[in-house]
Chain A
Amino acid sequence: MAIELLKGNNAIAEAAIRAGLEAYFGYPITPQTELLEHMAARMPELGRTFVQAESEVAAINMVYGAACTGKRVMTTSSSPGISLMMEGLSYIAGTEVPMVLVDVMRGGPGLGNIAPSQGDYTQMVHGGGHGDYHPIVLAPASVQEAIDLTVLAFDLAEKYRTIAVVLADGSIGQMMEPAELPPMAPLKKVLPNWAVTGEPGRPRRLLTSIYLNPDDEEVTNIRLLERWESIRGEEVRWKEYYLEDAELVVVGFGTAGRVALSAVRAARAAGIKAGLLRPISLSPFPETVVRELAGVAEAMLVVEMNAGQMFGDVKLAVDGLIPVEFYGRLGGVVPFPDEILAEIRRVASGPIVGQNGHARQRWLERLSILREGN
């Protein structure tokens, strides 16, 4: 395959098609609409299923039905649409059928706006639908990584009979970058032995998320959790930059992580021993890596395009070993590298221990000064 100039949304769609996607169900919403449009053109020409649903509620339930047949299925949306899908996601998790979901996040809460955001971290990583379940959540920081993680998402979803999410943001979906698509994979010929396929010569099959007897439901929950434990053991992914001798570890995912990398490079050029940890699997979260880094570094700085949704998970992993500071931009604002560099300089220059209040509170005070300055 050749390297091409590709837009994130189209690249994700084409990657899914080449990974053997058989059915796509979706609903238009900015900033992911090109993804749906790509599917609308490509899926029928390949003789595969494309349905524009009447709502995200319907789209996720069409996915639910198609996922029960064991075929490769997906839907995509953006934050407000993802909120509408939470019902279906809980049912899909409870029924233990694989599916891939792409969330091209935008500013919120509510209708918000169509600018890039990372405000869906909590609703994806920590559930959002009812009950105990954990989807796999993968966060790309480039168009190439969005392609690779989309393909990986299908494999992981099937391997673990789970929901696999590609959690991108508006800038990943909208920007164009040189990237390479995978070759076209053949469609699955053999469907799994749990799939509801309406075939003769075997006992009937039933797929459901209802277990009226609490003991049965507890057994199901334990099965889901044990599967999650093996995912936690096998599927943690992250990327490290300049961490070998880093005294200050910046932690950021997706676009925030990418902007932070520019800041870390600038800090290095200024002689500051900063490094970057970019979690790729947000769920399972690379908590062991964070914990190990907390054992050797002097401080951490979490950078997000939200109010610190991953920050809590970092704090949990650090477990009080070293100070953890936070810097975020909200509502669709993407931080500039200079803002993060200023934060790196601040954290690197003085002791944080003993400062008053919560890191998030202190960040809000700095943010208000910054905004007044603008």
Chain B
Amino acid sequence: MLNAAPATAAQVVYQRPRSLTETVTHYCPGCTHGISQRLVAEVLDEMGLREKAIGVASVGCSVFAYNYFDVDFVEAAHGRAPAMATGIKRVFPDRTVFTYQGDGDLVSIGMAEVMHAAARGENVTIIFINNAIYGMTGGQMAPTTLPGMRTTSSPLGRDIEVTGMPIRMSEVLAKLDATAFVVRRSLHDATNIRKAKKAIRTAFEVQQQGLGFSLVELLSTCPTNWGMTPNQALSFVEEEMLPYFPLGDYKISEAVKALKV
């Protein structure tokens, strides 16, 4: 028997995860922050981690992540979330500690902190939102901004002659021997969202098992600062970002390979 419930009874098939608060979102229409935060919350629910997790919010649009997660939270200085997470995890090794950081925060000002947290193999999970732009300050060029992409600080388009090339963070971090799980996923359609959730689940399992540093990079949208409709923004991710930031598993350590999720 596949379904025990009577066919006529009303069933709740979709609801707010317990790990999210009832706060009304401040994110722009078409922004994928809401999706990624929901995915993290669903995973915390499913793994029963809501009341033993400590989140570290960063600076950027996700500065208010702590408003949405119904778990203990601290708020880091710009880029320093991995250092703060290190401090927490080292004194509370049995808690689930995660950061939620954007690309300006993690790849630019916080490059040193994330690199060294990864190099130490800190047993924390990092959710890395890459939308190729600074959202909170109004759309400036990020280290992940694509060549030629217009931002308020590259009004004629990113000139690679003077600003160099975007940083592919997952590929960089994967080169560090102490990382356990580093993958890139995307949030531009339902199939990819499901894959993103699975990766987030694996990342938290890696931490639960004490296997080391885990990071999930999520290609995300910023319709407001990209100057696009929500649908155009999703297409931009698929057509422009995916070629430069290929999806994939950049680091799956031997211990993680043996992990059954």
Q: List chain A positions with a Cβ less than 8 A from chain B.
A: 22-23, 25, 49, 51, 53-55, 57-59, 61-69, 71, 73, 87-88, 91, 95, 196-201, 204-210
Contact = CB atoms under 8 A, between A and B. Distances in A.
Nearest to A48: B91
B77 A198 contact: no
Interface of B: 51-54, 56-57, 63, 66, 69-77, 80, 83-88, 90-92, 95-97, 112-113, 115-116, 120
Nearest to A62: B87
A64 B82 CA distance: 11
B90 A51 contact: yes
B40 to A, nearest CB: 15
Contact of A23 (B87, B95, B115): B87
Contact of A208 (B69, B75, B88, B112): B75
Given A58-B112, A58-B113, A198-B52, A66 B91 contact: yes
Nearest to B57: A208
Contact of A196 (B74, B83, B115): B74
A73 to B, nearest CB: 7
A88 B77 CA distance: 7
A68 B84 CA distance: 9
Contacts of A65: 56, 74, 76, 83-88
A196 B63 CA distance: 17
B116 A61 contact: no
A206 B83 contact: no
Contacts of A69: 88, 91-92
Contact of B112 (A51, A57, A198): A57
Given A65-B86, A196-B74, A205-B72, A71 B112 contact: no
Contacts of A88: 77, 80
A90 to B, nearest CB: 9
B172 to A, nearest CB: 16
Given A62-B86, A68-B74, A206 B66 contact: yes
Which 9 residue pairs spanning A and B have beta carbons closest together?
Answer: A65-B87, A65-B84, A200-B51, A61-B83, A66-B87, A208-B75, A62-B87, A61-B80, A54-B116
Given A55-B112, A206-B74, A207-B74, A198 B87 contact: no
A145 B51 CA distance: 43
Nearest to B85: A65
A199 B74 CA distance: 14
Contacts of B53: 198
Contacts of B113: 54, 57-58, 61
